[in-house]
Amino acid sequence: MSKASSQDFTFFVDRCLGKKLATVLKAQGLTVEIHDRHFDKNAKDVDWLPTVGQWGWVVLTKDERIAKRSLERLAVASAGVRMFVLVSQNLSGADTAAAFTEAISAMQQFLQTHPAPFIAKVYRDGSIASWKDHSALLAELNLPLE
């Protein structure tokens, strides 16, 4: 089995990250969709997460509350969402874009080796760590592990 290329994933940029990140990631050759192109700007996370999961897109966000709130975690789990959360707060748009750009390779490797659903942390230096893995999220749904 060959490794997936960046074109095998569509990255969904959450509204909280802004459009600059989408522009930077597209310039890196990635397929990118932005929140406001598909959802109302005031759409709640629990409303758009199931759709993004159904479409198979990979969520990029800096909204750490998604992993901390049970309704959002349940939406991630039930929709099979793959999510990367930037946990370094108060970064400029340029620094946020740099962190995700630095993390592209690590995110692609993580996507290959971690089954959905998951929530992973992205740090300022581009490193990645699992936060809520497949097993933990499915356990919240009381579903058997695959």
DSSP-assigned letter for residue 30: -
- Arithmetic mean of pLDDT over the chain: 89
Q: With respect to residue 86, please indicate whether it lies within any of the assigned structural domains.
A: yes
Number of domains in the chain: 1
User: Per residue in 1-14, pLDDT tens?
Assistant: 334 444 489 999 99
For 54, left (φ over 0), alpha (ψ -120 to 50), or beta? alpha
Instruction: Give the tens place of pLDDT for each residue, 93-114.
Output: 889 999 999 999 999 999 999 9
- pTM of the predicted model as reported, rounded to 2 decimal places: 0.90
* 64-68: long-range contacts, CB 8 A cutoff, minimum separation 24: 64/89, 66/119, 67/119, 67/131, 67/132
The CATH number of the domain where 25 resides is what? Answer: 3.40.50.2300
Residue 43 included in any domain: yes
Q: Say if residue 55's pLDDT is above 80.
A: yes
Q: Is residue 132 part of a domain?
A: no
